[in-house]
Amino acid sequence: MSNSPEANALARLVRDGRRYWATPTGQAVRQAERACLGPVCERVFGAHSLELGMGACLADMCPVRHPMRWAPTRELAEQSATLVSPPDALPLPDDCLSLVVIHHLLEVVPDPHHMLQESARVTAHDGRLIIFGWMPIGAGGLARAWPGRRRRVPWRGHWRTPGRLKDWLAFVDFEIERVDYCSFHLPGSVPRNTLLETLGRRYNLPLGDSYMIQARRKPQLAQTQPPRLAFTRPFGGAALGATRLRQSPEPERMLEVD
């Protein structure tokens, strides 16, 4: 994978993303999203977690014993606990992670459906799947209208609403618990306006640059098996009058037809 054309394309994308998240604007957005994620992380406990993204670690405040990062190539692995793999083919067993964070990758990866499917597969039944995405109708969405911006990070790719991702999550048997909106500012300004951020977070207005989806696996309803009816001997001719009807699993109850 490390030397494949797909890995090289992802590596270029991650390098571009890291340059953006190191800018003052990227750091301001990250701080706003980290403030949204903090209360969620306080309620997540477990052995393992995975964060898939291009910027600096966002969920490092979570009390998970073994947090892992992701990278498409070994050269981009910044720490020892890094999973080097395609984002749509994670080399992990099913239901093994207490927390999975997808940070602005579904917009730009070549196969977002399979990436979401893989992320859902490795999330434990009682775990959390967190998705950060860019809001199409926020101030950042309006900035995409400038010529040439859609070819650069963060404006490139396909921006989807939480409603659209709700349908995607339903396909992998997950449901949205809550959507929080982050990074509020006026068009053309850096998202560091404390007043707008406070009001936007308080009323959870869908006008921020980004959103955070909290999703969990749908509860499985218990399958109730109807009682089976069994006959002690087959129907037919004179034997019908002597046929006994037995209801399992309670064999002591019999209905005699004479």
Task: Concatenate the DSSP letters of all residues of 19-56 into one string.
Answer: HHHTSHHHHHHHHHHHHHHHHHHTT--EEEEEEEESSS
Q: Which residue has the tokens 């890291």?
A: 18
Architecture of domain 24-77+94-217: 3-Layer(aba) Sandwich (3.40)
Position 145 scores a pLDDT of: 73
- What is the pLDDT at residue 221? 59
Written as six digits, the tokens of 72 are 């498409």
Q: What is the pLDDT of residue 236?
A: 46
Structure tokens at 207: 């006008």
* pLDDT value of position 1: 53
Residue 2 dihedral angles phi and psi, to the nearest 5°: -65, -30
Structure tokens at 93: 């067993």
pLDDT value at residue 229: 45
* Cis previous bond, 87, omega within 30: no
Q: What pLDDT score was predicted for residue 95?
A: 96
The predicted structure's pLDDT at residue 225: 56
Query: Phi and psi of 98, rounded to 5°?
Result: -75, -25
At 246, give phi and psi (nearest 5°).
Answer: -115, 135
pTM of the predicted model over 0.85: no
DSSP 197: H
pLDDT per residue of the chain (258 residues) written in tens, 0 to 9: 556 788 889 999 999 999 999 999 999 999 999 999 999 988 888 889 999 999 999 998 888 999 999 999 999 998 889 999 999 999 999 999 999 999 999 999 999 999 999 999 999 999 999 999 999 887 777 777 777 778 888 888 999 999 999 999 999 999 999 999 999 988 777 777 788 888 999 999 998 999 999 999 998 755 555 545 444 444 444 444 444 444 445 444 444 444
Q: What is the residue extent of each domain of the chain?
A: 24-77+94-217
